[in-house]
Chain A
Amino acid sequence: MTTLRTSTVSWRVRPRAVALTLTGLVLLALLMALDMRIGEIEMTLPEVLTGTFDVNSAAHFVIMELRLPRALTGALVGAALALSGAIIQSIARNPLASPEILGVTTGASVTVVAGLVLSGSAYGTVSGLLATLGVPALALLGGLLGAAIVYGLAWRRGLDGYRLVLVGIGVAAVFTNVKFWLLTVGDINDTARAMVWISGSLNGRGWEHVVPTALALAVLVPLTLLGTRSLDALRFGDDTVTALGVRVNPARALLILAAVLLAAVATASAGPIAFVALASPQIALRLVRSGRPPLLCSAVVGAVLTTAADLIARTVFSPVELPVGIVTAVLGAPYLIHLIWRSRK
């Protein structure tokens, strides 16, 4: 453990966390380079490199307009969800907590499924405005609304972590079952389309999905890192924390707001990729061997997991593409199981 000090603030740095974060970033870069090569037009790595910088080549269009934005969306969304999960798991002090209990992903699922099923035509895909703008807007709206409901109901002279979890369960249950019901009401084709969305998919994601997620991360990551000290303190329970001199409620409210926004933006871009938010912090926690999920490292794990999953989702059943959210579970679950298995001593 090393400590960074300026005149007023000091910062603890874990060498193991830093090393793992850097390794993760290198791995992420490699995966994304691989991702650029594979697709309907196969390319070699040199071709990818020349294509990226040669504006006039055909490869340039494929990479810059199709593959890169998709890969970036995946990495950013994965990072945002994982970071959101790490915050929530730290605050709730519960390894099973995820943005789901804040009402974000479930709220988004309800509004989007309702949009797809109730407005859907039985023929073809959702088209026009609904597809490009409507679904992300609906998801953002539903996610924020869901979080507002959970937060409003859980607030009672302060915010108790345990009560937040219980209220979250209740609200998420309502949303989930409304979603199930909507799926039984609709035409089977709309249901199938809605199923793809609620599994989380990166299919056809472009720069319009990259930019908002990147902006959200750029603003929220530094904010969250500032809150690290509060998170460390919050582990000890409200009474101890108050005695330690941390203003519990403002700190927690800000961190929760950050988690909500991260999850909402990510869900709007790629749908609720549930398992990333739950598993990445737990994987990072076990790799770093720290007391609570490490934030940056969780984000990197989330990005790597999502990117690797999308690589597999695009290639395994090609030309049929699986929703990335399904593959993240197939990839992440065994790894988490392996880590649990290894930790026996």
Chain B
Amino acid sequence: MSATAVAPRPHGLRRRRLTVLLALLAAVAVAVVLSVTIGSKSVPLADAWHALTAPTGTENDIVIRSLRLPRTALGILAGLALGVAGALMQGHTRNPLADPGLLGVTQGAAFAMVSSIILLGASSLLTSIWYGLAGALVASVAVFALGMAGGRGGPTPVTLALAGTAVSALLYALTSTIVLLDEQAMDVFRFWQAGSIASRGADVAWQVLPFVLAGLVLAVANAPGLNALSLGEDVARGLGQNVSRTRAVGVAAVTLLSGAAVAACGSLAFVGLIVPHLARPLSGTDHRWLLPFSGLIGAALLLVADVVGRVVAPPGELEVGVVLALLGAPFFVALVRRRKPVRL
């Protein structure tokens, strides 16, 4: 929309987008440095470099390698995943209220994790990450099948969104029932719900990495088809798109990306909801640009919010999900107020 307003030469538009892309990459790099060096024990940049290149087992080396690096890696992965998944989800449903959790992913993961605590006696979040992932996958497949059945020749945005909401509400209700009847499950659940990337070891980041990578590949493949779909399903069909297949690929990407992020970090759906709205004024409605912009903004935002959470409430920490909402939402509201929103 914004691109057609003054009809810039395509060349200038492309250059502007490349500049923004570089700026966002730089922002992520800065966020990584902040995330590695700042915390309850702040580490000088030189020591951090030392820990990365030639660790000798000093205290700073251990802090960096066993705590800060996994945490930062997980932050990047989750931010990327949720940002991209959010943009995909809003594109496919053409609804600004859509977040990756709309496919039932978040509540599916929550239900599976809480059930595993009750039924299998899993005692912490980290042993149940696989259950979370499985729950997310099953829930989103169910939602997609329903949305598929509700529409003609493929899921329509409205049926998909409504089916997702209905399934999510059902799963949330079941989770709440368990949580209200079992105190230990409640204790785990409330921290999962707030969302955090702290105190997960490097193995968690490695566990979710393949899912995020696979999701990103699917997302990239999905972008051109999504552009055609945003002209309306009939036009997309006229352009030779296989609408059902495009939707299926998109849903698979969202499921892999947000399922992995949510299972590892808890409920951070807010990233997926807000980040695409931040990215859209920069990228316009072209998903080939919107997806990478959303991913990078998501990663930078998540890392910065995590760093802020470490320093605002010493000696404790504030969960990253809470900080994100407190930081990101006012910024988002200001942005929405300042300019005419780029509509889906």
Contacts and interface: CB of A to CB of B under 8 A. Distances in A.
A334 B154 CA distance: 21
B190 A279 contact: no
Nearest to A199: B176
Interface stretch (B215-223, B237-245, B330-338): B330-338
Contacts of A344: 149-152
19 contacts: A94-B97, A96-B95, A156-B337, A170-B274, A173-B273, A178-B322, A180-B194, A181-B194, A183-B190, A191-B186, A278-B165, A325-B173, A329-B172, A330-B174, A334-B166, A334-B170, A336-B162, A340-B150, A341-B146
B306 to A, nearest CB: 14
Nearest to A155: B337
A275 B169 contact: yes
A154 B341 CA distance: 12
Q: State which size class the interface on A falls in.
A: 35 or more
B236 interface: no
A165 B270 contact: no
Given A171-B333, A177-B326, A183-B190, 13 more contacts: A96-B98, A170-B332, A173-B270, A173-B274, A174-B325, A180-B190, A184-B194, A275-B169, A279-B169, A336-B162, A337-B167, A340-B146, A344-B152
A333 B169 contact: yes
Nearest to A150: B333
Q: Chain A contact residues: over half helix, strand or loop, or mixed?
A: helix
A81 interface: no
A178 B322 CA distance: 6
A103 to B, nearest CB: 11
A26 B319 CA distance: 49
A177 B191 CA distance: 12
What 10 A-B pairs have minimum CB-CB distances, sorted nearest first?
A: A177-B325, A329-B173, A333-B170, A329-B169, A170-B333, A340-B150, A170-B329, A333-B166, A181-B322, A180-B194
Interface string A316-332: 00001011011101101
A180 B161 CA distance: 24
Contacts of A320: 181
Contacts of B146: 337, 340-341
A163 interface: yes
A312 B98 CA distance: 31
B329 A165 contact: no
Contacts of A329: 169-170, 172-173
A227 interface: no
Given A170-B329, A180-B194, A95 B163 contact: no
Q: State which size class the interface on B falls in.
A: 35 or more
Contact of B177 (A156, A274, A322): A322
B156 to A, nearest CB: 10
A128 B10 CA distance: 69
B186 A180 contact: no
B230 interface: no
Nearest to B99: A169
Contacts of B172: 329
Nearest to A180: B194
A326 B190 contact: no
A84 interface: no
B97 A165 contact: yes
B277 interface: yes
A102 to B, nearest CB: 13
B333 A153 contact: yes
Interface string A121-144: 000000000000000000000000
Interface of B: 95-98, 146-147, 149-152, 158-159, 161-163, 165-167, 169-170, 172-174, 176-177, 179-181, 183, 186-187, 190-191, 193-195, 267, 270, 273-274, 277, 318-319, 321-322, 324-326, 328-330, 332-333, 336-337, 341, 343
Contacts of B180: 192, 195-196, 199, 322-323, 326
Contacts of B152: 344-345
Nearest to B164: A96
B96 A162 contact: yes
A188 B183 contact: yes
A195 B193 CA distance: 12
A154 B338 CA distance: 10
Nearest to A330: B173
A184 B191 contact: yes
Contacts of A195: 176, 179-180, 186
Nearest to B196: A184
A332 B96 CA distance: 24
A226 to B, nearest CB: 28
Nearest to A274: B169
Nearest to B161: A96
Nearest to A341: B149
B174 to A, nearest CB: 7
Contacts of B162: 95-96, 282, 336, 340
A340 B142 CA distance: 13
A178 B324 CA distance: 11
A177 B321 contact: yes
A320 B10 CA distance: 66
Contacts of A174: 325-326, 329-330
Contacts of B173: 275, 325-327, 329-330, 333
Given A167-B333, A279-B166, A95 B158 contact: yes
